[in-house]
Amino acid sequence: MTTVNKLDLSWLILMILTLSGMLMGEYAEAGFWITVSIAGITALKGRLIIDQFMELDQASPVIRRIVRAFGLVVPALMILTYLLGPELAQVTQLPAH
């Protein structure tokens, strides 16, 4: 597959994933599995962007692993926020005067 075709396919997949996430956010009932699905979509989109558009598939293994790990931290935090939202909000509030 040529580079242009690979980028076009990646872009098409990104658009499909974006529309899927948008439709889930708009029409699905909030819940754990919807949050996990959206986090999964975010992870897939991040991986595509990292590998195809940032070209980190050609970077040194250390840099590639660090950036890919960061791409997994964000979806993990989305799930953590769903599970522990009130507790996280309480911990991050400014003290009252």
- Alpha-carbon gap, residue 74 to 54, rounded angstroms: 17
> Residue 38: how many CB atoms within 10 A of its CB?
20
Percent of the chain's residues with pLDDT above 90: 52
DSSP H helical ranges for 32-96: 32-48, 61-92
Q: How far is CA 64 from the centre of its chain?
A: 16
* pLDDT tens digits, one per residue of 39-49: 999 999 999 99
Domain ranges (residues) in the chain: 3-90
Contact 36, 79 (CB under 8 A): yes
pTM (2 d.p.) = 0.80
3: confidence class by pLDDT, cuts 50, 70, 90: low
Contact 41, 71 (CB under 8 A): no
